[in-house]
Structure 1
């Protein structure tokens, strides 16, 4: 067995291990994707006219469970009036944790 074969094998093994680690690492959902998911989840119930989201995740605790979340809001027209709704969405999964009318 040549030393070059060992070095090539080690390099390939290292590269494969790094690729698997990166693929398995759970990454945050982007704020844009989280906002898009919220809008698509509520669109069938209320028509969304406007929306916003904080770009930086923040710490949030609900039912003694810690989350990193994005906060945002959506607006809609109901009965000729603009209604505002605030939401809290999990930054890891994009799951809506809270959706409150104002």
Structure 2
């Protein structure tokens, strides 16, 4: 009976490994929301000093120019050289980190 338990244990281990690998491959192509936000902040430094930022932790679909993207939506608040504070909303591609949309929010 010892070899049967061993075989069941090995089979279970292989199945769990394959399942974990497939789940990892599904999420491996996406950036974490924190990393995407960090990339946006780095690319938006020309707007002024960044005082605040936020990002949704779950991706959304964005239809733009007849294409659909998985994106993170978020925002940043910047103060320019004149001391004027402005808020911006952004959509960043969850796979590449490219900013697809950056809009200044009106008061």
TM-score normalized by structure 1? 0.72
What corresponds to 1:99 in structure 2?
102
For structure 2, which runs of at least 5 residues remain unmatched after alignment? 1-21
Q: Residue in 1 aligned with 2:42?
A: 40
Normalising by structure 2, we get a TM-score of 0.69
Counterpart position of 1:29: 31
Residue 26 of structure 1: how far off its partner (Å): 7.0
Question: Take 1:57 and 1:38, find their aligned partners in 2: how far apart are those partners?
Answer: 15
**Large movers: runs of 4+ above 3 Å:** 21-26
Aligned to 1:87: 90
SS in 1 for 2:36: helix
The alpha carbon displacement at 1:42 in A equals 1.3
Aligned length: 100
Higher helix share: 2
Gaps of 5+ in 1: 1-20
Partner-residue secondary structure (3-state), 1:39: helix
Offset of 1:80 from its aligned partner?
A: 2.5
Distance 1:55 1:25, change over 3 A: closer
TM-align CA RMSD:
2.6
